[in-house]
Amino acid sequence: MVNIQPPFQQDLPSFLLLMTLVGFFLMLGELLTRKLGVKPLIVRKVIHLSMGVLMFFIPSMFGSNFYPVVASLFFIVLGLISMKTGFLKSLQGEPVLNDDGKEVISYGPVCFPLVFLLQLLLFWGEHVWIVQTSMLVLGIGDAMAALVGTAVGKGHIEKLTKSPKTVEGSVAMFVSSLLILSVSLFIFRDSFSGGLVGQPLWTLLALALLLALLTTAVEALISYGFDNLFIPLSIAYVLYVLDVNSMVTINGFLLGGLFALLVALFSIKVKFLQNSGATATFLLGTTIFGVGGFVWTVPLLTFYFLSSILSKLGHKRKAKFDLVFEKGSQRDAGQVYANGGVAWFMMVLYSLTGDPYLFFAYLGTLAAVQADTWATEIGTMWPNAKARLITTFKDVAVGTSGGVSIPGTSASFIGSIFICSSAVLMNVPWIGQFGIVQSLLVIGLSGLFASLVDSFFGATVQAQYFDPIRKKVTERTHSIAPDGSRVVNELMKGYHFVNNDLVNTLCALSGSAVAYVVVRNLVFLQ
């Protein structure tokens, strides 16, 4: 619950000291950058590290969270102004280019005070130790990753993120995070109030190891400075849920993380996923497997394995569509987020609220992405299938965005039924209470409806381009010429920002919303 406490008069000197210290670090950074020629990236990360250490001590400096909240708001505004004007060079750093040679904009100077503000509002009080731990990992770990990666990084990790990441930087992030988390969980063990109380030292060290892997994955995968937001939030969520939710056990979470890691490694080995997709799968899988348990895990694995295997089948028949679809059968992080991000969010909401209807929303979103995948795969593999555009019902080539066919539409409904059937086999009590037949129909129709929503957006707003080399319509923004050069494809319809991942996300949201609303209202009517 969001909590803003009234100001304590005795906190005012600490507030003035805090603002003076931060101001001193910023002025020193500007002096080093502008007058002494020190690289902006180095100065920025040193400031980053210093702020993380300073925030660790803030709870011991203040009796209430009022003045720390005020300070956070001030520095959020200062970060926004600096981003707009560039007057604080020590905050913005020097330009970084991505793999395409474009400058990567960093929102880190805004995300850093923003995530501190959020945690102050949510965890001040008996869980303030979570704020201290997560901000110290962000301050030191993220800074070490950037500094080491820049200084000695040689092993660039391919197909991972928009920003260049190195093996050496990720190792520095992991080692520093592991040390900080291990020490923090040991010194704060008297502050635990729930599920973490009384845990043996080796269990806390195992938890620190898994959290270090998670934060390293977040830092490696997320670009544009948003890792400053998601590193502390990921740590805070895990520690909070383990401490307050009696249904989530630390041993179950550790086993879930191990299983998610094995699934990610297996997916790379069999070429189901690219590096970024495997990393995203590890992140989502650890949360769903570790927090949700078998009840939430089995439907996700049903989608993952059935859809991945289906994507690999009929490769020769589908080869002619490889240059039409935006991405191939090896999923990247964007596809994992689009297919599993809404499901992950539903599970997180359930872990915090205990609302059983969210499980049906979870099944609805998995049914949606399964239906969309099966409709595409079966529709393109089916011999002599005929497709029609969903908006006009005119004949279109199979594989056209917005095209629907009888085999593909039938497959979408059948795929949705498989998702709900996996939950039925797990003896989920909520399905028994609502009714097995009713659940199968609701989830099946939710998936079918969502796949039609996907087709509608594909026919209307999804970006489609003309490939001047092969003289074909495609979802790809660029084509490769015979000489190896990249050629920009011309936008024919839709909007540049509406790509296949966004359409898949909207599909997943629609399936989730339909299942949640229908089940909740039917139960109410009963």
pTM for the whole thing? 0.86
Task: Answer yes or no: are the C-beta atoms of 373 and 396 closer than 8 Å.
Answer: no
Over 90: is that where the pLDDT of 422 sits?
yes
175 falls within a domain: yes
Least confident of 295-309, 369-383, 397-411, 461-475: 461-475
Predicted pLDDT at 449: 95
Strands (E), 353-512: 387-389, 395-396, 403-404, 464-467, 472-474, 478-480, 486-488, 490-493
Over 90: is that where the pLDDT of 399 sits?
no
4 falls within a domain: no
Domain boundary among 244, 263, 286: 244
Shared domain for 451 and 329, answered yes or no, is yes
Shared domain for 227 and 331, answered yes or no, is no
Over 50: is that where the pLDDT of 326 sits?
no
503 falls within a domain: yes
Residue of higher predicted confidence among 4 and 484: 4
Shared domain for 43 and 170, answered yes or no, is yes
Q: Which domain holds residue 370?
A: 321-462+498-525
Domain boundary among 194, 213, 244: 244
Predicted pLDDT at 145: 87
Shared domain for 337 and 229, answered yes or no, is no
91 falls within a domain: yes
511: pLDDT confidence band, cut at 50, 70 and 90?
A: very high
263 falls within a domain: no
Predicted pLDDT at 325: 47
Shared domain for 141 and 230, answered yes or no, is yes
Predicted pLDDT at 526: 53
Domain boundary among 191, 216, 244: 244
| Burial (CB count <10 Å: 0-12, 13-18, 19+), residue 420 | buried
54 falls within a domain: yes
Shared domain for 14 and 141, answered yes or no, is yes
Domains held by the chain: number: 2
Q: What letter would DSSP give residue 183?
A: H
Q: Which residues pair with 103 in a beta bridge?
A: 97
Shared domain for 204 and 327, answered yes or no, is no
Mean pLDDT of 272-293: 88
Least confident of 102-111, 218-227, 449-458, 481-490: 481-490
Residue carrying the six token digits 């709870």: 59
Shared domain for 511 and 382, answered yes or no, is yes
Shared domain for 366 and 453, answered yes or no, is yes
286 falls within a domain: no
Over 50: is that where the pLDDT of 323 sits?
no
Over 80: is that where the pLDDT of 320 sits?
no
Shared domain for 368 and 504, answered yes or no, is yes
Which residue pairs, CB below 8 angstroms and at least 24 apart, start in 317-323?
317/380, 317/381, 318/377, 318/380, 318/381, 321/380, 321/399, 323/467, 323/470, 323/472, 323/474, 323/476, 323/479
324: pLDDT confidence band, cut at 50, 70 and 90?
A: very low
Give the sheet arrangement for strand 490-493, strand by strand: 472-474, 464-467, 490-493
3-state secondary structure of 470: coil
Shared domain for 227 and 349, answered yes or no, is no
Mean pLDDT of 450-474: 82
438 falls within a domain: yes
Tokens of 419: 């998702």
Shared domain for 126 and 218, answered yes or no, is yes
d(CA 395, CA 373): 21
d(CA 513, CA 526): 20
Predicted pLDDT at 419: 95
**% of the chain exceeding 70 in pLDDT:** 89
Mean pLDDT of 285-301: 92
d(CA 68, CA 492): 51
